Amino acid sequence: YFPTSQFSYFTSFPGMNAAIRAVVRETLRQGHRCYLIREGYTGLITGNIEQASWGHVANVTHLGGSMIGTSRCDEFRITEGRKKAAEKMFEKRIFHLIVIGGDGSLMGAQKLKEEWGRFGEELFAEGKITEEVANEGRELHLAGIVGSIDNDCIESDKSIGSDTALHRICEAIDGLVMTAQSHQRVFVVEVMGRHCGYLALTAAIAVEADYVFYPEIPPDDNWPEQLCNQLESVRKYGKRQNVIILGEGVTNSKGIKIGGKQIKEEIETRLQLEVRIATLGHLQRGGAPTFLDRLLGLRMGYEAVQEVLKTTEDPGSQIVGQKTVAKVMCLRGHNIERNELSRVIRQSESANDETIQRNSD
Ligand code: F6P
């Protein structure tokens, strides 16, 4: 889920470097120039763009975060900002762009693509680019790669980073359970995911949690009673600790966010159990990527290069009206599929609207 207000929002995620590596190496292998844009869209606007060499992406696959930095970029949300980015791209004659990120970042890329033709004409009319460059860059060949720990892209079974985040969550909770067990405590563990409950729900299964709150199904008004009944029943057969997972973005029936503190108070008052809250925060997004995220990053990076080069070599196969259609790399089963970016964005937005609606009903 990426609200429109988050559009052009970039976060890093484990596995991003693997994707960058594959993009760079495959582009160079095919005999093209490749540039790294630093600090997300900010770098595109300010021209923080560096030509990549083979060696640039050596020893990066195992590293978390993003080797080229990332940022939120408010300027890219407005047309003038995107036009500045286009100008920098025309200057360097960069007409193929691969964007790695969540829906917010991909939404920004799609916007740039839609306005690209107009930007080219305006930059030429303003004398900022020559006719030759304007013609060469008539088309922006764009591909997206789905990456976010939230795993909230509707068309992809997995987004890069989510497997590592789950691994981190499980590891942390396994640790908490040991102390909880000794003290007979309850732990409320707050996990990320924005308005998508994937991390909360799947982690709950993997750690044998006793209760999970996730945004897609907002809890009933009598959730405190249901929760406490559940805790009581498992304690009756000898369980010495409880784990409750609270997904980010969970609200009550009035649309008010449910917090760990509220859950703690309800349990302590009703059951006289000791409760502690653990907010895993950005630990979930850090650290070395798992094997799966490395592989997914590498595979999607490789496919994205094939996609942008294909639209140049065989534009007819991709054209709708007079424009090539941007694709986004998605995982479906074991295969990487190339889906239409604008459609994936639309679907994510409507899924997101549904969650918000359900939470405020
Ligand atoms: O989208 C990834 C994510 O980690 C969300 O799960 C979380 O809500 C958000 O980013 C946190 O953003 P920030 O790093 O700006 O605090």
Q: Is residue 152 in contact with ligand 1, taking CB distance under 6 Å?
A: no
Residue 12 pLDDT:
86
Phi and psi, residue 242, nearest 5°: -135, 145
Distance 286 CA to ligand 1 centre (A): 12
The band of 4, judged by pLDDT with boundaries at 50, 70 and 90, is: very low
Residue 357 pLDDT:
67
Residue 321 pLDDT:
47
Helix-, strand-, coil-residue percentages of the chain, each rounded to 5: 50, 15, 35
Q: Which residue has the higher pLDDT, 307 or 347?
A: 307
Q: Is residue 155 in contact with ligand 1, taking CB distance under 6 Å?
A: no
Distance 53 CA to ligand 1 centre (A): 31
CA distance linking residue 32 with residue 148, whole number of Å? 28
The CA-CA-CA angle for residues 52, 54, 56, to 5°, reads 60
75-93: average pLDDT:
97
Residue 2 has pLDDT above 50, yes or no: no
Phi and psi, residue 205, nearest 5°: -65, -45
pLDDT digits (tens, 9 = 90+) for 321-340: 456 899 999 999 999 999 99
> Ligand 1, closest atom to CA 102?
1
**Closest C-alpha residue for ligand 1 atom 13:** 11
Residue 316 pLDDT:
56
**Closest C-alpha residue for ligand 1 atom 16:** 282
Residue 344 pLDDT:
93
The band of 5, judged by pLDDT with boundaries at 50, 70 and 90, is: very low
**Closest C-alpha residue for ligand 1 atom 8:** 194
Can you read off the two tokens belonging to residue 206?
A: 């993997």
Residue 360 pLDDT:
62
In three-state secondary structure terms, 101 is strand
For this structure, is 150 an active site residue? yes
Distance 182 CA to ligand 1 centre (A): 33
CA distance linking residue 129 with residue 132, whole number of Å? 8
Residue 270 has pLDDT above 80, yes or no: yes
The CA-CA-CA angle for residues 154, 158, 164, to 5°, reads 135
**Closest C-alpha residue for ligand 1 atom 15:** 11
Alpha carbon distances (Å) from 162 to 283, 286, 297: 13, 11, 12
Q: Would you tell me how many other CB atoms lie within 10 Å of the CB of residue 267?
A: 22
Q: State the helix-helix crossing angle for 291-313 and 162-183, rounded to 10 degrees.
A: 160
CA distance linking residue 54 with residue 29, whole number of Å? 9
The CA-CA-CA angle for residues 189, 17, 143, to 5°, reads 105
DSSP 77: G
Residue 351 pLDDT:
74
pLDDT digits (tens, 9 = 90+) for 20-55: 999 999 999 999 999 999 999 999 999 999 999 999
pLDDT digits (tens, 9 = 90+) for 196-209: 999 999 999 999 99
Residue 230 pLDDT:
98
Phi and psi, residue 331, nearest 5°: -95, 125
Q: Is residue 25 in contact with ligand 1, taking CB distance under 6 Å?
A: no
Q: For residue 259, how far is the Cα from the chain centroid?
A: 23
Residue 313 has pLDDT above 80, yes or no: no
pLDDT digits (tens, 9 = 90+) for 101-140: 998 899 999 999 999 999 999 999 999 999 999 999 999 9
The band of 253, judged by pLDDT with boundaries at 50, 70 and 90, is: confident
The band of 10, judged by pLDDT with boundaries at 50, 70 and 90, is: low
The verdict on ipTM greater than 0.90 is yes
Q: For residue 286, how far is the Cα from the chain centroid?
A: 14
The band of 348, judged by pLDDT with boundaries at 50, 70 and 90, is: confident
